Structure 1
Amino acid sequence: MTIPHPVPSLSSHPLHWRERESFVLLDSEFGDGEHFFATWQAWRDDPQRPRQLHYLALLPQLAALDELQQVSAKAPEWQSLHAELRAAWPPAVPGFHRIFLQDEQLILTLMIGDSAACLRQIVAKVDAFRLHGRSWQTWPAPALNILGRLAAEHASLDISGTEETARKQLQQAGFVFESAADDASQTSALRAHFAPRFSARLTASSTAATVHSDRRAIVIGAGLAGSAACQRLVQRGWSVDLIESHTTPAQQASGNTAGIFMPLLSRDDNPGSRLSRSAYLFALQVWRQLGGIGNTFDGAACGVLQIARDAEHAGGQQQLADYWRYPADYAQWLDQAAASRLAGSPVSGGGWYFPAAGWVRPGSLCQTMLESCGDRLQIHFGQRAAILEREQDSWAVHDQHGAKIASAPVLILANACDALHFPQAADLPLSAIRGQITYLDAKQVPAITPVLCGEAYLTPAYEGICSVGASYDEDEQATLRQDSQDANLARLANILPGWRAGQLPLAGRVGFRCVASDRLPLIGALPDKNGTCAVREAKLKDLPRFAGLYSLLGYASRGLIWAPLAAELLASQLNGEPLPIEADLAAALDPARFLLKQRRRGSTPQR
């Protein structure tokens, strides 16, 4: 095949990636995707290609699909590539977007937003840099130093249009140019390799997680968190032992008949909103990889209509819509009349419509994720993990009688607030919040099309039953309660004017959400509060951790969308891969963030 515009870093130096397990390439400008398609094709054509290729691409704005179509028409071999990419193309919203291609052997991470700002948020060890186009030339000079902190050993760099100042900055960052820089014009393509004068350096890719060559893990908990962890690890070739005290998966908070999935919006696009957007979009992609909602697991991408609380709230949301102008395939603001038409029943106000959102039966999703693991997953149902012991370089999990259930170098706690029973996790700021869901016969409520939500939610019928919820109670009663049901129905009546519940039988389910004090999950290596820290003014990466012990906890009421992204984030850390989200967002989820705050306040003694 003849590639329309050869890619210097690959076509001229094909051995750089050959016979590698994994290879990471950073492209300064995705543009219309031509360089990406060329790289993809070159990788497919090379029999000695790396098993996994990570392609990180910066772009201020997402390319339109018709632009990709025009580029793919340049080569017949690109047509099938374009079709696969098109099916996974994300909405044009800011942030990092991880896209799986070629059975997850090719992983494209699109980083939408200011390129220099995105560059500072990358956590990766990059094997090849490709700086081309114009966007990188607008970066502030210090941004080029970041390339040195991202560079893996012997990394290559291909660059065009370099001025002397930029070349000197790159040389200071540790890159050595292979041609005479003084003879190069601004339009010449130059190649450099990473050869820093000092090998000991702090890198932007430092994380608290240890990269494990022995890919065996134990996961405790077979709800959404644990099932997703098994799926993401097995996909990478890990062998996993799953320990669950119940005889089937998804028996705690993940056992509801229907859970809704949608993103969270905010005017300031705060970390919570950014994280929910990433989690929501990533979940949609993982579910497509698993076969799709309503196909391999129960649910429907029927859309979610989030109704404003009152007129004042609606006015604020209208201003938010005017400010952000979200793409229609992500979120649309509808006035009351349009919202009522969409719902198929009168609603109390305007609302946000998320067309790709909907509902899923969590238990069926857990089952699908576990079944996808095949024989690399060993499940220990009906066994309660009671004791955790560190044995040399592994963790051993014992039951309440002291019998060993499993051992492995990596142990992941994905059992919600039950994790607090272990001494290693006892101080985590987690609490159980009671949630009661009401089940109604579908004939007792209006026949809605999308999920309705606001102060309450109502799902379309599943096997003749609609779910209404959910209460937010600070008590430990595990049985159904009339006052919680009455409150659920009263909140629903506020969304559906003219509808009254009447006398209905007490029916539903009680579950307990695991919630952290700051309402964000705890994802990553668990801190050891009694461990020593050699740095006086420590950062997250400096804090002591329990070797090989990790958590996937605190998903609150958003476990459906949190589970895939959290598992991907942890699996990426354990494998030394580029992270799927920005560095500051990963830090916001680090379980050691609470210990860091305590030590900075001087409230936690150090040895």
Structure 2
Amino acid sequence: MPIQPATYTLADDGTPYSDTFDDVYHSAAGAIGQAEHVFLGGNGLPGRWRGRDRFVIVETGFGLGLNFLATWAAWRADPERAATLHFVSCELHPFAVEDLAALHARWPEFAPLAAELQAAWPSLTPGVHRLHLDKDQVFLTLYFGDARDGLAQLDARADAFLLDGFSPARNPDLWSQKVFHLLGRMAAPGATLATWSVAGEVREGLRRAGFEVEKAPGFAGKRQMLRGRHLGPRGGQVEEKPLLRESDAPQAARRAIVIGAGVAGSSAAERLAARGWSVEVIDVADRPGHGASGNHAGVLRPLPSLDDNRMSRLTRAGTLYGWRHIRRLRARGINVRAEDCGVLHLARDAAQQDKMRAVVERLALPPSVLRFVDADEAERIGGWPVPLGGWWFSDSGWVQPPTLCAANLAAHPSRIRTHFACPVAQIERVADEWRALDAAGQVIAAAPVLIMAAGTGLRDFPLAGTLPMVSARGQVSLLDAAAGSAPRVVMCRMGYVSPEVDGLRCAGATFDVGDDDPDLRERDHHENIAKLEAMLPGYTTRLGPTALRGRVGFRPASPDRLPMVGAIPSVSSIAPRTPLPEIPRHPGLYALSGFGARGLVWAALAGELMASLICGEPAPVENDLIAAVDPARFILRPVRQSATDD
């Protein structure tokens, strides 16, 4: 469902007021006092997070973000605070960042924190958005959409709940029995809750969901508030299992091996190192980003669909998170060659153009994320005449993958150790550790966790034999280009062409499953040039005779074109309809592969998901998307090999 941004007016006393819900956003007596008395005090904070490695808070309505800012400020001020703070919140009508900034200006005591939040604020698109704040110590996970859907799709174990939102009379859906049940499902042992509402239906609904509640003195003019504690599974009830699997490795160990230094492996290594892990990265090449991640320029943009299916949602989430990740690296002074110059995806014919227009109208995403343009506007954007219009992704663009890989590995130099030109011949588990061995049987590295991100090399390891991965040969052509020459943006249509990057532009790419030829081929070069001509009629006549220049890479692809992110199954077959969490796995062994032609789109988000899986943290994507990329999914359904990709 498209996101409708929040609108507000100011009441006579200056309190922000929602015309949509006919209610105020916070107590007229003061938002910060309410946050501190009701939500922090009602949950026993800051005392309860002291000495913890991680503390997780789930909130039912983000609103202006004042509960979050007050919690963040209290966490920062506490010298005994938890090492990391996870704050998970749902919001049906999030504010545009401009409105958020105007409202936050009313609380200057939060100015530095509010500015950091505003700088990271995501596009108002439906689904989960993971924001990293305070040097990766504060994780804000926002679900934009109906809380009833979000709480059902969020995998988290909450230590505390903040029940906030417009009053039960104004917004009954947020205080429904379904919401209370979902909160109970998410409760960690000893979880507490607090809310300003003491309505009878709220107390009874929480009781039915397994919470013991009591009234307590309220804030300012409100006589009472509610606080409670989850009692855990009651007699005869079976606790629901989460999709996430916490690593068998003790958190104190925090050591991992990553095989592969491409966009997949380097992303996972960076995300674990950001959490304080020591990571050994091993690669057969002599530098990062040499294999399938070695192209001169690749595309980072989403792939929309009329029904907003899993591919559509994952590529959108991956694109938005990927650009945020690049901006975070750059903010730390780490260079990544990339430009969000925009991506123009042209229609093949009039029928597809009509469909592309319908997709834009149906999804109703922010124009910076997706907009339809006709042929005239497409020509103005790209700088070349085209017969048809299509999709315009103004916030997307190109990335040079090797620089992203190098940046990931350089982000935490004291925690990431690299082993280049170092083939792994075998992996084995001894006691509670995985060992990566060379051809002579010598140990390259050992750790409780091992992530296999070796691209098509994954097929060489018997323990990954349950994964139906194929190799797809891709050849990219490199063409001389003058600075500022057309096209000035990335353009796509049955292939892609980049703008000029260091005097060259990339055109391609082929996608041939099961083709192991490593050499450049004239016919593939001609295929790329033909795709370019079909995209930009008349363009190739200006090229003249071109020498064969380009690059061949072999991309790991899965049968359903979705990546594989998660623990590797230890069985090759199992009873149909077995829940994914119940499929046996090799302890501490994970796969990060199957990226196909979308390595840049998946990489950063997949690395964050992998780190969350290993650490047992709240997930950065919805439950159905976690299931969609789980490597064990192929055990539960027949595999139909796909020989094409787009």
Using structure 1 for the length normalisation, give the TM-score. 0.93
Partner of 2:214: 178
What secondary structure does 1:179 align onto? Answer: strand
What secondary structure does 1:178 align onto? Answer: strand
Letter in 2 for 1:75: W
Partner of 2:452: 413
Letter in 2 for 1:355: S
Q: Distance in 1 between matches of 2:469 and 2:352?
A: 30
Letter in 1 for 2:144: I
Letter in 2 for 1:482: E
Partner of 2:551: 509
Q: Distance in 1 between matches of 2:550 and 2:483?
A: 15
Structure 1: state its 5+ residue gaps. Answer: 600-607
1:327-366 alignment, distance < 5 Å: 327-366=366-405
Q: Distance in 2 between matches of 1:472 and 1:195?
A: 55
1:295-310 alignment, distance < 5 Å: 296-310=335-349
What secondary structure does 1:388 align onto? Answer: strand
Q: Distance in 1 between matches of 2:604 and 2:587?
A: 24
Q: CA deviation at 1:559?
A: 0.9
Q: CA deviation at 1:348?
A: 2.9
- Residues 473, 80 of structure 1: CA spacing in aligned structure 2 closer, same or farther, 3 A cutoff? same
Which residue, out of 91, 104, 122, partners 1:59? 91
Q: Which moved more, 1:332-341 or 1:394-403?
A: 394-403
Partner of 2:580: 540
Q: Is the 8 A contact 2:198 2:215 kept in 1?
A: no
- Residue by residue, what CA displacement relative to the aligned partner does 1:182-232 show, whole Å, maximum 9, x if unpaired? xxx999420001223649843353434435322111110111111111100
What secondary structure does 1:597 align onto? Answer: coil
- Residue by residue, what CA displacement relative to the aligned partner does 1:538-562 show, whole Å, maximum 9, x if unpaired? 2100011111110000111111121
Which residue, out of 519, 533, 539, partners 1:493? 533
Q: Is the 8 A contact 2:346 2:535 kept in 1?
A: yes
Q: Which moved more, 1:136-145 or 1:271-280?
A: 136-145
1:457-468 alignment, distance < 5 Å: 457-468=496-507
Task: Give aligned pairs, total.
Answer: 594
Q: Is the 8 A contact 1:345 1:446 kept in 2?
A: no
1:123 correspondence with 2:155: yes
What secondary structure does 2:362 align onto? Answer: helix
Q: CA deviation at 1:336?
A: 0.5
1:97-108 alignment, distance < 5 Å: 97-108=129-140
Which residue, out of 14, 27, 42, partners 2:74? 42
Q: Is the 8 A contact 1:161 1:187 kept in 2?
A: no
- Residues 307, 500 of structure 1: CA spacing in aligned structure 2 closer, same or farther, 3 A cutoff? same
Partner of 2:35: 6
The sequence identity of aligned pairs, in percent, is 39
C-alpha RMSD of matched pairs (Å): 2.5
Q: Distance in 2 between matches of 1:104 and 1:423?
A: 36
Q: Distance in 2 between matches of 1:366 and 1:196?
A: 44
Q: CA deviation at 1:394?
A: 0.8
Q: Distance in 2 between matches of 1:367 and 1:444?
A: 25
Partner of 2:173: 138
Q: Is the 8 A contact 1:221 1:415 kept in 2?
A: yes
Q: Is the 8 A contact 1:334 1:350 kept in 2?
A: yes
What secondary structure does 1:77 align onto? Answer: helix
Q: Distance in 2 between matches of 1:262 and 1:299?
A: 12
Which residue, out of 564, 567, 570, partners 1:525? 567
Partner of 1:93: 125
What secondary structure does 1:509 align onto? Answer: strand
1:83 correspondence with 2:122: no
- Residue by residue, what CA displacement relative to the aligned partner does 1:353-381 show, whole Å, maximum 9, x if unpaired? 11121111111111111111212222111
What secondary structure does 2:268 align onto? Answer: helix
Which residue, out of 285, 288, 291, partners 1:252? 291
What secondary structure does 1:256 align onto? Answer: coil
Partner of 1:191: 227
Letter in 2 for 1:393: D
Q: Is the 8 A contact 2:216 2:227 kept in 1?
A: no
Q: Which moved more, 1:284-293 or 1:336-345?
A: 284-293
- Residue by residue, what CA displacement relative to the aligned partner does 1:330-369 show, whole Å, maximum 9, x if unpaired? 1121110011001112123112111121111111111111
- Residues 295, 127 of structure 1: CA spacing in aligned structure 2 closer, same or farther, 3 A cutoff? closer
Q: Distance in 2 between matches of 1:174 and 1:295?
A: 48
Which residue, out of 409, 415, 425, partners 2:464? 425
What secondary structure does 2:597 align onto? Answer: coil
Q: Which moved more, 1:364-373 or 1:536-545?
A: 536-545
Q: Distance in 2 between matches of 1:421 and 1:558?
A: 22
- Residues 158, 341 of structure 1: CA spacing in aligned structure 2 closer, same or farther, 3 A cutoff? same
- Residues 402, 211 of structure 1: CA spacing in aligned structure 2 closer, same or farther, 3 A cutoff? closer
Letter in 2 for 1:280: T
Q: CA deviation at 1:291?
A: 0.8
Q: CA deviation at 1:69?
A: 2.1
Q: CA deviation at 1:87?
A: 1.3
- Residues 227, 42 of structure 1: CA spacing in aligned structure 2 closer, same or farther, 3 A cutoff? same
Q: Is the 8 A contact 1:302 1:359 kept in 2?
A: yes
Q: Is the 8 A contact 1:438 1:508 kept in 2?
A: yes
Which residue, out of 319, 331, 335, partners 1:280? 319
Which residue, out of 171, 184, 194, partners 1:158? 194
Partner of 1:569: 609
What secondary structure does 1:193 align onto? Answer: strand
Q: CA deviation at 1:2?
A: 9.7
- Residue by residue, what CA displacement relative to the aligned partner does 1:40-68 show, whole Å, maximum 9, x if unpaired? 22222222222211111111122122332
Partner of 1:401: 440
Q: Distance in 2 between matches of 1:333 and 1:173?
A: 46
Q: Distance in 1 between matches of 2:233 and 2:399?
A: 54
Q: Distance in 1 between matches of 2:577 and 2:199?
A: 38
What secondary structure does 1:152 align onto? Answer: strand
Q: Distance in 1 between matches of 2:572 and 2:373?
A: 53
- Residue by residue, what CA displacement relative to the aligned partner does 1:115-156 show, whole Å, maximum 9, x if unpaired? 101110110110111112237731442331121121111111
- Residue by residue, what CA displacement relative to the aligned partner does 1:1-58 show, whole Å, maximum 9, x if unpaired? 9935333231453312223221111111111222222222222222222221111111
Which residue, out of 166, 169, 178, partners 2:205? 169
Letter in 1 for 2:625: L
Q: CA deviation at 1:305?
A: 1.0
Q: Which moved more, 1:20-29 or 1:120-129?
A: 20-29
Q: Is the 8 A contact 1:442 1:464 kept in 2?
A: yes
Q: Distance in 2 between matches of 1:52 and 1:282?
A: 20
Partner of 2:417: 378
Structure 2: state its 5+ residue gaps. Answer: 1-29, 640-646
- Residues 335, 298 of structure 1: CA spacing in aligned structure 2 closer, same or farther, 3 A cutoff? same
Q: Distance in 2 between matches of 1:547 and 1:331?
A: 41
Q: Distance in 2 between matches of 1:313 and 1:154?
A: 54
What secondary structure does 1:436 align onto? Answer: strand
- Residue by residue, what CA displacement relative to the aligned partner does 1:394-429 show, whole Å, maximum 9, x if unpaired? 111111221111111111100012111111112311
Q: Distance in 2 between matches of 1:26 and 1:121?
A: 13
- Residues 294, 273 of structure 1: CA spacing in aligned structure 2 closer, same or farther, 3 A cutoff? farther
Q: Which moved more, 1:105-114 or 1:438-447?
A: 438-447
Partner of 1:603: none
Letter in 2 for 1:285: R
Q: Which moved more, 1:35-44 or 1:355-364?
A: 35-44
Q: Distance in 1 between matches of 2:496 and 2:331?
A: 23
Partner of 1:602: none
What secondary structure does 1:557 align onto? Answer: coil
- Residues 558, 64 of structure 1: CA spacing in aligned structure 2 closer, same or farther, 3 A cutoff? same
1:25 correspondence with 2:57: yes
